[in-house]
Amino acid sequence: MEKAGKSENSNIRQKAEDKLKRETSKGATKLSEADTLKLIHELEVHQIELELQNEELRQAKSEAQKAIDKYTELYDFAPSGYFTMSKKGEILDLNLQGAKMLGEDRSQLKNNLFVFFVSSETKHGFDQFLKNIYRNKKNETCDLTIKGKGTLPKYVHLTGIAAEKGSHCLISVIDISEMKQAEHTLKIKERFDLAMNASKDGLFDWNLETNEIYYSPGWKRMLGYKEEELPNDFRIWEKLTNPHDVERCWKMQQALINKQCDRFELEFKMKHKDGHWVDILSRAEAFFDDHGKAIRIVGTHVDISERKQAEDELRNSMQIIEGIMNSIPIRVFWKDLNLVYLGCNKAFAADAGFPNRQDIIGKDDYQMCWRDQAELYRNDDREVIKSGVAKIHIEEPQTTPDGKIIYLLTSKIPLRNSHGEVIGVLGTYLDITERKKTEKELAQYRHHLEELVKERTAELEEKNKELENFNQLFVGRELRIMDLKDKLRKLENNL
């Protein structure tokens, strides 16, 4: 910088000497000694003034260069990206951070369209942003997603303004990915907190290294407590859990910590604030560090009291139904769409030769002692399933385990699910062998009676004929007697 100043001074001095020679050659008048000394003094003063001014210029230039260097450093190494763009969105200039955002060298990015790096979802927003800059002549902002070469997509915030002449615009680009992620995380947390506060379920988070534990408001509310009424203390769980269940829970937790099971899932009872027991379904998972050591267990509590009550009521109802089914003489069975047995009552299992009802599950009619009638039964099953219409009072034979033939009165109806869809067939039957035998005996007796009636009828007809003959003879005699009586009256009258 100093050498440049000296060279510049030498050039000025040379120009001054040349100009002085030209002026002197035109004919200068002779000066007195006093005038000469005065002129020399003026020249020396002027020279000093020029040197001082030159020094100030050098200082100003140096400071200007420092400012330029500082601006360049601030521009290039700023945490934000700075772009100069044309009206079409061409990159005319950019700083190092801008190039880093786009994942390419600065020289390769110049004269490229910025929109090439904008995601398809936000391109329309960028186009509108660029138009607004030149139309409104004021600061405009927008949020975009950009994807540079070899970089992950970034969320960025753009602020832009048109230059004074309007030939280009200046745009700053700030990477807001972390802020967006933080906002997303915050929203998830807020949503989670709202869900947990609104949910009837409870959450616990147990730090195994510090033994600190967190119980959500729902966890406490499930047991009848307000959040401030129960401290986040692990001993609370032990205190409120049924002593018979604590040991089972500890064993499973240790198995989870020791990686002997993938997750914790157990039902147990905890005491409510008002003294009754609450049925809890607890599910939990363990988290491990890089060395495989368990450092955290996170889980949920679900109040399943209503479900347990419903299960008990259902179990009681099923026991009642099962008791009824097993006490009635009617045989009951049900099959799936493949005509495989799903269940039956005791009487049906006994007819099939099985001591337990469960033995029949999974079998079909071809595996039963009545295999000879299997196709007959299955045809009826298929008809009921296909039509969705019941078949009532079907009389059919059946082979018993000891090879005898008995007779059944069978009814079959479609078995439907809760949506009304046919999922199988439900059947019942009565053993009507004795009835059939009685009917046969009655038929024989009826036939015998009919034969007896025929015989009696024939005999009566014969007797009737005899009676008619007798009547005819009797009536003839009576007529003859009446005729004789009439003749006697006439004779007596004549006498």
Q: Which of these ranges, 124-138, 175-189, 218-232, 276-290, has the smallest mean pLDDT?
A: 175-189
pLDDT at 17: 65
pLDDT reading at 1 higher than 60: no
Sequence letter at residue 279:
D
Higher-scoring residue by pLDDT: 414, 195:
414
90, burial (CB in 10 Å: exposed 0-12, middle 13-18, buried 19+): middle
Sequence letter at residue 141:
T
Percent of the chain whose predicted confidence (pLDDT) is above 70: 90
How many Å separate Cα 402 from the centre of its chain? 56
pLDDT band for 32, please (50, 70, 90 cuts): confident
Question: 199-309 has which CATH code?
Answer: 3.30.450.20
pLDDT reading at 284 higher than 90: yes
Domain assignments of the chain as residue spans, ordered by start: 76-180, 199-309, 328-431
Asked whether the beta carbons of 119 and 126 are under 8 A apart, the reply is: no
> What confidence tens digit (pLDDT) does each residue in 166-213 have?
889 999 999 998 888 888 888 877 777 777 666 678 999 999 999 999
Topology agreement, domain 199-309 and domain 328-431: yes
Percent of the chain whose predicted confidence (pLDDT) is above 90: 54
> What confidence tens digit (pLDDT) does each residue in 317-350 have?
888 888 888 888 899 999 999 999 999 999 999 9
Positive or negative: CA dihedral 21, 25, 28, 34: positive
Q: What does each C-alpha distance from 405 to 218, 350, 397, 408 come to in angstroms?
A: 66, 15, 6, 10
pLDDT at 18: 67
pLDDT at 10: 61
pLDDT at 459: 82
The whole-number average pLDDT for the span 107-113 is 91
Distance CA 159, CA 304 (A): 55
Distance CA 26, CA 391 (A): 143
pLDDT at 342: 95
Number of CB atoms found within 10 A of residue 161's CB: 16
What angle (nearest 5°) sits at the alpha carbon of residue 391, between those of residues 386 and 393? 160
Class level of CATH domain 76-180? alpha beta
pLDDT reading at 6 higher than 70: no
pLDDT band for 305, please (50, 70, 90 cuts): very high
Asked whether the beta carbons of 195 and 174 are under 8 A apart, the reply is: no
End-to-end CA distance of the chain, in Å? 207
Distance CA 435, CA 380 (A): 23
Q: Which residues of 428-446 are buried (b: 16+ CB within 10 A; e: fewer)?
A: bbbbbbeebeeeeeeeeee
CB-based contacts of 395: which residues, under 8 Å, 6+ apart? 407, 408, 409, 410, 432
Distance CA 131, CA 135 (A): 6
Pure H helices in 147-300: 177-198, 217-221, 234-240, 243-257
Asked whether the beta carbons of 348 and 431 are under 8 A apart, the reply is: no
* Helix, coil or strand: residue 284: strand
CATH 3.40.50.300 fits 328-431, yes or no: no
pLDDT at 23: 57
pLDDT reading at 464 higher than 70: yes
Higher-scoring residue by pLDDT: 245, 456:
245
pLDDT reading at 294 higher than 70: yes
pLDDT at 258: 92
pLDDT reading at 76 higher than 80: no
